[in-house]
Structure 1
Amino acid sequence: MKSIFLFLCLFLAVSVWSTDKLDYTPCKVLTEKDGLLHWELAEAYRDHHSSFGREKILDVSKIKNPQVLNAFPEDLYRDDTADASVMVLFHGKNWSFNSKTPVLLVHGAGDDPNRGWVHPYSLTTPESVPEAAEGFMQRFSKAGFPVFAIAFSHHHGCNYKQAEQIHNAIQIIKRKTNASKVHLLAHSKGNCAASIYVCGGKDVNPELFGFLSPFKKDVDKYIQIGPGNKGIDIIFRYYLGNVYSLSNKLSSPVCFQKAVYYGMWTDFYEKDIYKANPGKEIGNYFPGQCQLVNNLVDDGLDFSSYSYTPIDFNMTMKACYYGGTTMYVQAYGIEHSMKEGGYTIKKINERGMDPSVSLINIYGTNPVIQEIDLGFIKIPIGVSDHPSDGLVYSHSASYIKGHLVRGAKLTAQKAFNLNHFGIAMKAEVFIWLESLLD
């Protein structure tokens, strides 16, 4: 009787936390006849697990591309929330005829499948794309791969929930193509969600995210482009970078909950990276960002003159990073954010990928994201105090030891003299990558 009771308890626990609640019937379908450009098909799917819910989102963070937005259900955004239970699976040209291993493309923060994979030089998706400007979607399709891309409802959303949506997308692709495995390619923030899945899904952080599905051994090669494998810390490192984000109304969080702004002490509860503040009842509008954070100063990447705040002998610099209050800011600091994010970077590197997965790691070494042309001089924009691709330090992007800790194999690793965006769009990267795939 005791053994039966224990079995029932285990069965109920698995049913509550690991039940597949994905509805395999799409809740919205778009084809070329509906005006869908460049893709053959777009299907929206909903996961009915109660843990998804809705995530807080700022207007500036909502999907702007009308082609991508139209592929989601009309109730995607309600008030200041996004429906985390819904994702869209875009199908590339000839997906049902191409016979190689399917490829699933995963976009990063501030991005979508069209800008990321169709026309990387355009935010609006024109009707025609010059061959020289084609993204990885067209290149994979022409090379004989069935290619798909996932669109998340919130590009700053929870990486664990997005890992489950990646799992869902792979199950759908396997059903449609009869393939047993896919190649999983992720760019930037998308690598956090992809890593969570190939490292075990629910086994990465079971205390907080036990509802996730386990890894199904259905990824052949995991292709990382510009990952933050050791985490990121840029918003904590640069006080002036936070001020720039506020001044330009960017879709990015800041490291302080209060600061002197235009001469006044101001609350930034909608923009800060933290989940909980005293008196903060509006929630976190960047739920996935704290899961990307890691202390890189203590890991060997020290502060530079770009971080200094000489007006107060670097007190504000240290408060932004380690927490504290100065005449200019009040911040909880990076350790607080890491804790709120469940120490995700640490968990991923301790867990490592399933040994059945092979890793391909691609990172950039050009720190210039863009240049501001003043006529007499061009001012480079990008992180350059340590080697980087302009957004992610090479120290983090090239780190692969954690992913291989359980015996997964490295297929290849290569650095390109390109910035964070160039490594996910340039032909030279694709040509090298394709040579490693079936």
Structure 2
Amino acid sequence: MRHPLRSLITALLAGALLALGPVPVQAATPATAPATAPAYLTREAVFGAPGNGWAQVERYLDGTPGFTQEQYPDDGRGDQDGARVTYFGGVGRPFSGRFLLYSAAGWDTAAGTPVLLVHGANDNADRAWANPGESGSCGASSCPATGMAQALAAAGHRVFAIGFAHKQGDDLMQAQAVGDALALIRARTGAPQVDLVAWSKGEVAARAWVSSVKPSWGRSYAGDVRRLVTLGGPNGGLDYVYAHGWAFSLATWPACGGTANAPSPHLYMTCYGSYTAQPCLGVLPGGGRDCFPGQRQLLARWDGTYGVDGTMQDWWTTYYGGQGYYTSGRGIQAAIDAGSLIAPLKRAGVPAAVRSYLLAGGSADVPGILNENRGPSDGLVFTASALDTAGYGTVGGTALLSGLNHMELAWAPEAIGQVRAWLG
């Protein structure tokens, strides 16, 4: 029998939304841009007139040792889709050293500081920034055919966007890709710095670059960012996956009929009388599999502020660990200890030279998902998390758009207007 909860959570974290102890290194702001692209970057392909308002899409490979082939769910739910398969050379599961660089119309004729758009989890640059209605999941009943990219380009900005290889990938590798994209943009435009606009999970990758939170093999911040704008970013972390009992496992566990490309908080679950494991679908690694490292990096506890959703089955053991009636797992603290980036990012801090702006939504009405309702949120991220300024050296402004949910923050006219005002 189909569980009634599943109709509420069949599409989790669509466009929403890491052990480490790096020593932060802050580089001085350079006076001029590099004359050429870094030698470790290889342009493998270019696609002209790709549509969605883009002038071109390029695929690059970062040859720096350290990038890996990340793991993907076996049933294809996390694979690249649509035009992105073509852009990645016909590969649905690209190597994480590869990324896409999108250039909007007017990138070579407009003036002013360039802008790099950074998308979130389970998403891509096309749907996130240029065609919110591409997959039918824009956070509203009616989706526009244009987005932030076209609006900023029309306002005279030189607009670029990055496309990550893995939809739920490691934010430390994605942060290095953000640095790569910035280097390419600076070499191409001659601009000494770029403005970063990062949405949802993309905020963590963007902030990791600017804060020099990196893997041992990674490059430190190059002083290449003028302003950082976050849209529904989990600055204070989130515990959404763990705080609602078995809901996420019902949506993701194949044995129970789940198909969402989202992580499960459990290691085992009983489905139709069978106690099963799905090691590649967990927040925590298991059985040699780890398909959602980027979600583990977003975690922080909010039970002390908003409690835990006690209406859901196995709510206590899901959050705190143990054997529940249908499920078992190690709880959120074990996952935080296994690699959350939230505390390291706050400790490292965003340099004071980077003027930062934080935008939050206040409407928990994202269609088709289990909305976060324990406290004020945009449906996925608590308002208090999105507006958490801890670790930001210079905060230029914060804003709450109470009528927008998490998805609408990337395309609604009110959000675009606020971003334009902050970019100047």
TM interval, shorter chain, is 0.7 to 0.9
User: Tell me, which stretches of 5 or more residues in structure 1 are unaligned?
Assistant: 1-19, 203-208, 310-315, 372-379
- Supply the distance in 1 between the matched residues of 2:39 and 2:232 (Cα, whole angstroms): 30
Pair 1:386-2:375 in alignment? yes
Pair 1:270-2:270 in alignment? no
Q: Secondary structure at the match of 1:70?
A: helix
**Partner in structure 1 of residue 22 of structure 2:** none
- Supply the distance in 2 between the matched residues of 1:100 and 1:410 (Cα, whole angstroms): 21
- Supply the distance in 2 between the matched residues of 1:353 and 1:213 (Cα, whole angstroms): 16
**Partner in structure 2 of residue 366 of structure 1:** 363
- 1:73 deviates by 2.6
Pair 1:56-2:71 in alignment? yes
Q: Which of 1 and 2 has greater Rg?
A: 1
- 1:36 deviates by 4.6
**219 and 318 in structure 1: CA distance in 2 versus 1, 3 angstrom threshold:** same
- 1:270 deviates by 2.1
Counterparts of residues 10-89 of structure 1 (less than 5 Å):
23-32=40-49, 35-58=50-73, 59-64=76-81, 66-75=82-91, 77=93, 82-89=94-101
**Partner in structure 2 of residue 6 of structure 1:** none
**225 and 322 in structure 1: CA distance in 2 versus 1, 3 angstrom threshold:** same
Q: Deviations over 1:4-43 (max 9, x none)?
A: xxxxxxxxxxxxxxxx9864441111102xx555211111
- 1:326 deviates by 2.7
Which of residues 326, 336, 339 in structure 2 aligns to 1:338?
Answer: 336
Which of residues 228, 231, 238 in structure 2 aligns to 1:232?
Answer: 238
**Partner in structure 2 of residue 185 of structure 1:** 197
Whether contact under 8 Å (1:358, 1:411) holds in the other structure is yes
**327 and 25 in structure 1: CA distance in 2 versus 1, 3 angstrom threshold:** closer
Q: Secondary structure at the match of 1:237?
A: coil
**Partner in structure 1 of residue 292 of structure 2:** 286
- Supply the distance in 2 between the matched residues of 1:161 and 1:29 (Cα, whole angstroms): 22
- Supply the distance in 1 between the matched residues of 2:114 and 2:274 (Cα, whole angstroms): 54
**97 and 21 in structure 1: CA distance in 2 versus 1, 3 angstrom threshold:** closer
Q: Which amino acid aligns with 1:274?
A: L
Whether contact under 8 Å (2:85, 2:91) holds in the other structure is no
Q: Which has the higher helix share?
A: 1
**Partner in structure 1 of residue 387 of structure 2:** 398
**240 and 327 in structure 1: CA distance in 2 versus 1, 3 angstrom threshold:** closer
**Partner in structure 2 of residue 104 of structure 1:** 116
Pair 1:159-2:144 in alignment? no
Q: Secondary structure at the match of 1:435?
A: helix
- Supply the distance in 1 between the matched residues of 2:38 and 2:149 (Cα, whole angstroms): 29
User: TM-score if structure 1 supplies the norm length?
Assistant: 0.82
**260 and 167 in structure 1: CA distance in 2 versus 1, 3 angstrom threshold:** same
- Supply the distance in 1 between the matched residues of 2:165 and 2:387 (Cα, whole angstroms): 28
**250 and 354 in structure 1: CA distance in 2 versus 1, 3 angstrom threshold:** same
Q: Secondary structure at the match of 1:162?
A: helix
Q: Secondary structure at the match of 1:166?
A: helix
Which of residues 245, 252, 256 in structure 1 aligns to 2:252?
Answer: 245
By relative contact order (CA 8 Å, sep 6+), the higher-ranking structure is 2
The percent of aligned pairs where both chains have the same amino acid is 25
Q: Which amino acid aligns with 1:345?
A: I
Q: Deviations over 1:321-344 (max 9, x none)?
A: 111113321201111111221x31
**361 and 370 in structure 1: CA distance in 2 versus 1, 3 angstrom threshold:** same
Pick which of 409-418 and 316-325 moved more: 316-325
**Partner in structure 2 of residue 376 of structure 1:** none
- 1:294 deviates by 1.3
Which of residues 388, 403, 411 in structure 1 aligns to 2:396?
Answer: 411
- Supply the distance in 1 between the matched residues of 2:371 and 2:153 (Cα, whole angstroms): 32
**Partner in structure 2 of residue 302 of structure 1:** 307
RMSD of aligned residue pairs (Cα, Å): 2.1
Pair 1:139-2:168 in alignment? no
Whether contact under 8 Å (1:387, 1:394) holds in the other structure is yes
**366 and 96 in structure 1: CA distance in 2 versus 1, 3 angstrom threshold:** same
- Supply the distance in 2 between the matched residues of 1:75 and 1:423 (Cα, whole angstroms): 30
Q: Deviations over 1:287-313 (max 9, x none)?
A: 211111112113x22124444x3xxxx
Counterparts of residues 192-207 of structure 1 (less than 5 Å):
192-202=204-214
Q: Secondary structure at the match of 1:60?
A: coil
User: Tell me, which stretches of 5 or more residues in structure 2 are unaligned?
Assistant: 1-36
**Partner in structure 2 of residue 16 of structure 1:** none
